[in-house]
């Protein structure tokens, strides 16, 4: 409906800004960088805060040129024709659309009004989509800790296990449990118990990658799904988590609460794990072994009834009292 050479769609989505470029002519990559830099400079006026370059994510649809004279940064700085429309909902700006013509053929008043009408429709659609996604997200979150809940854990693990089966990419799982949590509730009260759960969740979130999923599995038990992670790397991460809990001071109402956790680690790298349920069973069996051998430790499942406690650096052979998996 409106001819353009370059379109940018900028969406203000905390904590990042997303810029989508569509070019109908080959443009230089430096031109894309220049537009991003200009947005960062104007961000206090547009957003009421200064945005850094690191907060801006951008992608380009169309051809990037190499050596074309017309559509580089110097040409762009000669002020091509430009039309801008803000994406506004109830006086809140959620983004903007900008159109450019390198021919200096100006946009007409009718085209500018059409762009504004289009922007209003896009803004409403985006706001509805954001609200729907937020509602969906809330159904997948634990109300106390803000972590993903058991249902989200099962869904994510199902997808990642399918990826493992199809592409043979490693997948690991860590199950963690707070030692003597009932005694903590009985001694300090359930409010302190809730504080411990939230504090431990925050500690875990600060220690994992964006590609991982940390969930409250149930009660005082947590589960950490590690895509593209083999058993050796999962052991390292479990050790770091265990060490962080050891070093962290849990202080509630000016009282230090002694906290320890036990962890069980399992991976898809063994022949016994062919279904996601078996991976859960393996990690849970390793966690059970950690509890039975003294707590406050992390234990690795190495296959059919073989466990190893990393702190003791000694293989632990399970007996008939422990389940097979």
92 with 240, same domain? no
Do residues 261 and 242 touch, judged by C-beta distance below 8 A?
yes
pLDDT (tens digit per residue) in 164-174? 988 889 999 99
**pLDDT above 80 (res 314):** no
* Total of domains in the chain: 2
Compute how many other C-beta atoms are within 10 angstroms of the C-beta atom of residue 254.
Answer: 5
pLDDT (tens digit per residue) in 199-236? 999 999 998 988 999 999 999 999 999 999 999 999 99
pLDDT (tens digit per residue) in 45-54? 888 888 888 8
Residue 49: phi and psi, rounded to 5, are: -155, 160
Which of 79, 107, 137 is the endpoint of a domain? 137
Domain region containing 42: 6-137
Report the Cα 35 to chain-centroid distance in Å. Answer: 27
Compute how many other C-beta atoms are within 10 angstroms of the C-beta atom of residue 45.
Answer: 7
pLDDT (tens digit per residue) in 122-165? 999 998 988 888 877 778 999 999 999 999 999 999 999 999 98
132 with 229, same domain? no
Q: Determine which one of 220, 247, 277, 292 is catalytic.
A: 220
Do residues 162 and 227 touch, judged by C-beta distance below 8 A?
no
199 with 86, same domain? no
49 with 166, same domain? no
Distance CA 122, CA 75 (A): 30
pLDDT (tens digit per residue) in 288-302? 999 999 999 999 998
Distance CA 174, CA 303 (A): 15
pTM of the model: 0.62
Q: Which of 49, 50, 27 is nearest to 101 (CA)?
A: 27
Q: Is 162 among the catalytic positions?
A: no
Q: For helices 231-247 and 190-205, give the axis angle rounded to 10 degrees.
A: 130
């Amino acid at each position: 409906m409106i001819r353009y050479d370059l379109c940018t769609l900028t969406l203000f989505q905390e904590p990042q800004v997303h810029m989508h470029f569509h070019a109908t002519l080959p443009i230089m990559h430096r031109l894309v960088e220049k537009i991003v830099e200009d947005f960062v400079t104007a961000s206090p006026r547009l957003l009421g805060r200064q945005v850094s370059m690191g907060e801006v994510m951008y992608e380009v649809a169309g051809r990037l040129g190499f050596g074309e004279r017309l559509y580089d940064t110097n040409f762009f700085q000669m002020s091509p024709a430009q039309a801008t429309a803000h994406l506004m909902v109830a006086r809140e700006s959620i983004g903007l659309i900008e159109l450019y013509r390198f021919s200096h053929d100006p946009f007409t008043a009718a085209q500018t009004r059409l762009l504004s009408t289009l922007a209003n429709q896009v803004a409403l659609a985006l706001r509805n989509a954001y609200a729907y996604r937020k509602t969906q997200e809330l159904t997948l979150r634990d109300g106390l800790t803000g972590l993903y809940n058991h249902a989200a854990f099962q869904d994510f693990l199902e997808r990642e296990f399918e990826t493992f089966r199809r592409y043979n990419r490693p997948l690991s799982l860590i199950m963690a449990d707070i030692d003597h949590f009932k005694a903590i509730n009985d001694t300090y009260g359930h409010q302190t118990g809730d504080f411990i759960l939230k504090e431990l969740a925050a500690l875990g979130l600060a220690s994992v990658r964006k590609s991982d999923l940390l969930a409250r599995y149930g009660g005082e038990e947590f589960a950490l799904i590690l895509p593209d992670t083999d058993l050796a790397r999962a052991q390292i991460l479990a050790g770091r988590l265990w060490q962080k809990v050891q070093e962290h001071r849990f202080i509630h109402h000016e009282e230090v609460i002694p906290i320890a956790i036990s962890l069980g680690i399992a991976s898809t790298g063994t022949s016994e794990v062919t279904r996601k349920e078996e991976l859960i069973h393996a990690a849970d069996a390793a966690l059970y072994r950690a509890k039975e051998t003294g707590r406050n430790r992390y234990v690795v499942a190495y296959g059919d009834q073989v466990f190893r406690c990393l702190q003791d650096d000694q293989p632990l052979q399970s007996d008939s009292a422990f389940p097979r998996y």
